[in-house]
């Protein structure tokens, strides 16, 4: 996290957390607005708002470049992995998209964590590699093992997994 904060050192970070899935790093931050884009010493006394940075590292070695997309909470980001620390640092807001984003992030935080070995059911089934899967066993770190007869492993990214759980499309099965 320090390296990303160093790259954006002109930005007034209040709190942040990051997650990675699908080759993309997502940084959730609480930033004080307006921020001094290149104007050191400029007074910063605006509200603290939520921001999602989508960071994609392209290339390798000395040819690596970083593409960054910044999504303000008022734009209704579809990523809901902000930590409680980030959400608690935000100032009140009346924007409906921002309120909806905050609510979805808190809903994801309130979901119980899946235990390794948990059997889950997907309703309706999810499609992975052309196969329709309605039941699987959680292996940890986003990896599931499909139910018989195939028994192949597949990965679900953290944000999509949170979406499935929050929308009620995935439930735990007591075996």
The tens digit of pLDDT for each residue in 150-172 reads 677 877 766 677 777 767 766 65
Supply the DSSP string of 59-98, one letter for each residue: S-GGG-EEEEEEEEGGG--S-----HHHHHHPPP---HHH
Q: Mark whether 104 and 163 lie in a shared domain.
A: no
Report how far Cα 143 is from the mean position of its chain's Cα atoms.
Answer: 17
Q: Mark whether 93 and 123 lie in a shared domain.
A: no
Across the chain, where does the E strand assignment appear?
A: 13-21, 24-32, 48-58, 65-72, 119-128, 131-140, 143-146, 153-155, 170-173
Q: Helix (H, G, I), strand (E, B), or coil: what is residue 112? A: coil
If one counts every other C-beta atom within 10 angstroms of the C-beta of residue 75, the result is 14
Q: Which helix (H) or strand (E) holds 102?
A: helix 96-110
Q: Mark whether 91 and 8 lie in a shared domain.
A: yes
Percent of the chain with pLDDT over 70: 70
Residue 38 has pLDDT above 50, yes or no: no
Q: Mark whether 91 and 166 lie in a shared domain.
A: no
9-18, 32-41, 95-104, 122-131 — most confident range: 95-104
> 51 with 73: CB under 8 angstroms?
yes
Q: Mark whether 34 and 69 lie in a shared domain.
A: yes
Q: Mark whether 138 and 93 lie in a shared domain.
A: no
> 58 with 65: CB under 8 angstroms?
yes
Q: Provide the domain limits for residue 97.
A: 2-110
Which of 110, 129, 155 marks a domain boundary? 110
pTM for the full predicted model: 0.66
* Sheet of 48-58, strands arranged across: 13-21, 24-32, 48-58, 65-72
Question: Tens digit of pLDDT for each residue in 109-147?
Answer: 887 778 888 888 887 887 777 778 888 888 887 778 787
The count of domains in the chain is: 2
Quote the CA–CA distance of 87 and 79 in Å, as a whole number: 14
Q: Mark whether 58 and 27 lie in a shared domain.
A: yes
- Residue 98's pLDDT is what? 95
Q: Quick one: pLDDT band at residue 7, thresholds 50, 70, 90?
A: very low
Average pLDDT over residues 90-96: 94
């Amino acid at each position: 996290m320090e390296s990303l904060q160093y790259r954006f050192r002109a930005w007034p970070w209040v709190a942040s957390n990051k997650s990675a899935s699908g080759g993309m790093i997502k940084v959730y931050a609480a930033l004080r607005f307006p921020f001094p884009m290149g104007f050191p010493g400029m007074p910063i006394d605006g509200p603290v708002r939520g921001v999602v940075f989508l960071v994609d590292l392209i290339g390798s070695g000395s040819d690596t470049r970083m593409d960054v997309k910044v999504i303000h909470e008022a734009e209704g980001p579809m990523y809901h992995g902000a930590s409680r620390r980030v959400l608690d640092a935000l100032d009140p807001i009346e924007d409906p998209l921002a309120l909806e984003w905050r609510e979805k992030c808190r809903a994801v935080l309130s979901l119980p964590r899946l235990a390794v070995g948990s059997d889950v059911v997907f309703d309706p089934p999810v499609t992975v590699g052309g196969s329709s899967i309605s039941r699987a066993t959680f292996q940890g770190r986003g990896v599931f093992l499909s139910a018989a007869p195939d028994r192949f492993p597949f990965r679900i990214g953290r944000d999509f997994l949170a979406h499935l759980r929050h929308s009620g499309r995935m439930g735990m099965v007591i075996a």
